Structure 1
């Protein structure tokens, strides 16, 4: 004979797997961590400041 399973527990496990897969898809599609966003902003700000420091006076943008 087969072992009986708890259908409620099986349903909950199935839903957890589906939600985790959807969350992983959304993370790839939309997200970066806050630390990554802050790091990117800091790097671009630093690059802009370095470029401005090397600008020759009187040169237009």
Structure 2
């Protein structure tokens, strides 16, 4: 004979497990410190400036 399972508890445990997995994925994707975000932005800005410095002709300014 099989084990008796309370379906309500099993459902709640499954939901908790799914929420924890989603939270872990969000921590990986968005869990950077402010210093890390600012450093990344500064690096992007520096790369853009270097690229712009190597342009052959400057873009025309709107009148």
Q: TM-score, normalised by structure 1?
A: 0.52
> Partner of 1:31 in structure 2?
31
Q: Give the superposition deviation at 1:4.
A: 1.1
Q: Secondary structure at the match of 1:20?
A: helix
Aligned positions of 1:1-61 closer than 5 A: 1-32=1-32, 36-37=33-34, 40=35
Aligned-residue CA RMSD (Å): 1.8
Distance 1:12 1:20 in 2: 12
Could you tell me which runs of 5 or more consecutive residues in structure 1 were left unpaired when the two chains were aligned.
Answer: 45-61
Q: Secondary structure at the match of 2:3?
A: coil
Could you tell me which runs of 5 or more consecutive residues in structure 2 were left unpaired when the two chains were aligned.
Answer: 40-63
Give the number of aligned pairs: 37
Distance 2:13 2:30 in 1: 26
Distance 1:31 1:2 in 2: 43
